[in-house]
Structure 1
Amino acid sequence: MLSSVGLTSLYVAAARAYETEYRQRLFVDTYARSFAGDTGFALFSDLRSFSPGLSANDPHPGISIRTRFFDDALLMAVHELSLKQVVLVASGMDARAFRLPWMDGVQLFEVDRQEIFQYKEPILLNLNARAKCIRKVVVTDLEQNWATALTDVGFDRHKPAAFLFEGLMFYLKPATVATVLETLQSLACPGSWLGMDFVEAELLNSPYAQPFLSKLRKLGCPWLFGVSNPEQFILQYGWQPRQPKIVVLGEAEANYGRWTFPVSSTTSSVFNHYLVSARRMNF
């Protein structure tokens, strides 16, 4: 049985399944429908009321764009920088190990709690899934010593790596965010790459967002963290934004012709969702 936060990974899987089956799809994830199951699709339907203007089986534009953006950014970073280590933190139902064209020799570490892999691995086995990289499962909790868990299965902290934190940070308490990023500092040597997304801090207290945020609280997976200046925030942990730098969801670099909502506004009803691509600074 998955926890409330674990269930959000099924919601994301449902969104990726709908995108895969869309006529103008941005990516293909043939594992997503099996991962989502009835529970994921029910949760997706339950939260659909907070996405006006979309029909029942339409993909979620934000999740679809975010997935495609990080697909492209991650592969670009790995190929440009010749990175052979990729770490998906809080990987959930991510299928990038199986669906992206990795270079030979890439080790991909999926980091998440035991409940996730107890749910995920039997599905992969049943689908006869074959990873396109050297896939390693890292069973740990981010509030525990996840750095040791990662190195114990072969991660080399003396070699640069690509780290992806997708759809995670807003679920964490501010103190946990700080601890996670401090741990990341100990793992990421210069030359490493970071992908991460944040919501704007002001969203968490906005009356416009309260119906959605209240629903998440009732489901047991509240949003707890946001940032007002993502560039300044990541700089304090040793990360320098790089091309495409920090992009707001819906801008030209993160649109793909699918974002139909305002990108930014002077009104308090529109808030930024930041997509971050950064490099580890030299010290």
Structure 2
Amino acid sequence: MAVPQGDWDIVSSIGLTALGVTAGRAIATASPEPLVRDPYAAEFVRAANPPRPLPTEPGDDALWLGIADYVQLRARFFDDLITGSDAPQVVLLAAGLDARAFRLDLSGRDVYEVDQPRVLAFKHDVLARLGATPRCRRHPVGADLRENWPAALETAGFDPARPSVWIAEGLLPYLPALAEELLFDLVHARCAAGSRIGAEHIPPGDLTELSGTFQTSEAGKQMGLAADNVFSTEPRRDAAEWLTGQGWDVQVDRVADLAVRFGKRMPDVLAGQMAKTELISADL
């Protein structure tokens, strides 16, 4: 899978963007009436000691507050997809510092976290120091999405014959078009009846505009999003249409509609781009 970035840890390349998203969860957790409570997020940020300090509590920066609101809306959507399914297996692609195995009650289920080995090693060290206990059977899968990650996943115990939930949160905007298509092909080939897919899709025009917003902002610099080659804006096939053609029952929700559903207001600083982001859910 031709992902353009090289190897990374949690404070470089795509790893730093994952840390920025974690900072968003920390800010949301410390805010009134959060949609998601992640008690580990702030400690991940502190332990990483990033090159530019990242906030972990609400402040005066409108963009960071907007990021936190978007991050919690997106996280809540995918949380509900997971907890609303009876599938015994959950696969978190490019899991980063996702703490669902610890903060959601997924007892009796197998959760596979696929990401770079160095990212998972950092995550393990912090959680071990905190004495955190997973609320499921957790399986870290150190694998590169550019390589044979399905083999690593199955070696870790994943069974394609059993239903599964697949989550691609904060992943697709970084993938070239062909890499995204291959990802869906590989996932679809490993889904039994009763499986579910959740994915985030930002329309190319909005992604270009969003990239510009981050390139000129302090938040973008802190998150490692100030470079113009972080996002991939290549034309690509419509994932929702493709899944429908493969027999999936697909629903597409816009983040702006989710904000209304959960009683949250999309902040003006991101409303022009992120509010139009599509969150895809598909059932087989």
The amino acid that maps onto 2:17 is T
Does residue 164 (structure 1) correspond to residue 167 (structure 2)? The answer is yes
The 3 A distance-change label for structure 1 pair 100 and 41 is farther
Paired with 2:279 and 2:51, the residues of 1 have a C-alpha distance of 25
Match runs of 1:167-178 below 5 Å: 167-178=170-181
The 3 A distance-change label for structure 1 pair 91 and 30 is same
- Conservation of the 8 A alpha-carbon contact between 2:252 and 2:280: yes
Match runs of 1:148-159 below 5 Å: 148-159=151-162
| 3-state SS in 1 of match to 2:256 | coil
Paired with 1:270 and 1:149, the residues of 2 have a C-alpha distance of 33
Does residue 86 (structure 1) correspond to residue 84 (structure 2)? The answer is no
Q: What TM-score do you get using the length of structure 1 for normalisation?
A: 0.81
Paired with 1:156 and 1:260, the residues of 2 have a C-alpha distance of 39
Residue matched to 2:195:
192
- Conservation of the 8 A alpha-carbon contact between 1:9 and 1:92: yes
Q: Shift of the alpha carbon at 1:235?
A: 2.7
Match runs of 1:107-186 below 5 Å: 107-186=110-189
Q: How many residues align?
A: 264
The 3 A distance-change label for structure 1 pair 34 and 53 is closer
Q: Shift of the alpha carbon at 1:234?
A: 3.1
- Conservation of the 8 A alpha-carbon contact between 1:203 and 1:271: no
Corresponding residue to 1:222 among 212, 227, 230: 230
Q: Shift of the alpha carbon at 1:240?
A: 2.5
| 3-state SS in 1 of match to 2:189 | helix
Greater alpha carbon shift after TM alignment, 154-163 vs 31-40: 31-40
Does residue 240 (structure 1) correspond to residue 249 (structure 2)? The answer is yes
Residue matched to 1:11:
20
Residue matched to 1:63:
71
Paired with 1:44 and 1:255, the residues of 2 have a C-alpha distance of 29
Q: Shift of the alpha carbon at 1:277?
A: 1.1
The amino acid that maps onto 2:196 is W
Q: Shift of the alpha carbon at 1:217?
A: 5.6
Q: What TM-score do you get using the length of structure 2 for normalisation?
A: 0.81
Corresponding residue to 1:98 among 99, 102, 124: 102
Corresponding residue to 1:279 among 258, 261, 283: 283
The 3 A distance-change label for structure 1 pair 274 and 129 is same
- Conservation of the 8 A alpha-carbon contact between 1:204 and 1:223: yes
Q: Shift of the alpha carbon at 1:69?
A: 1.4
What does the per-residue CA deviation read over 1:65-98, in whole Å, with 9 as the maximum and x for residues that have no partner? 1111111122112xxxx21111111100000000
The amino acid that maps onto 1:258 is K
- Conservation of the 8 A alpha-carbon contact between 1:198 and 1:273: yes
Q: Shift of the alpha carbon at 1:228?
A: 8.3
Does residue 249 (structure 1) correspond to residue 255 (structure 2)? The answer is yes
- Conservation of the 8 A alpha-carbon contact between 2:207 and 2:273: no
What does the per-residue CA deviation read over 1:132-153, in whole Å, with 9 as the maximum and x for residues that have no partner? 0000111101111111100001
User: What's the RMSD between the two structures over aligned residues?
Assistant: 3.1
| 3-state SS in 2 of match to 1:132 | coil
Q: Shift of the alpha carbon at 1:219?
A: 4.4
The amino acid that maps onto 2:266 is T
For structure 1, the residue ranges without an aligned partner over 5 or more in a row are none
Match runs of 1:262-273 below 5 Å: 272-273=276-277
Does residue 31 (structure 1) correspond to residue 35 (structure 2)? The answer is no
Residue matched to 1:212:
214
- Conservation of the 8 A alpha-carbon contact between 1:83 and 1:162: yes
Q: Give the fraction of aligned pairs with identical amino acids, expressed as a percent.
A: 28
What does the per-residue CA deviation read over 1:167-189, in whole Å, with 9 as the maximum and x for residues that have no partner? 11001111111111111122112
| 3-state SS in 2 of match to 1:118 | helix
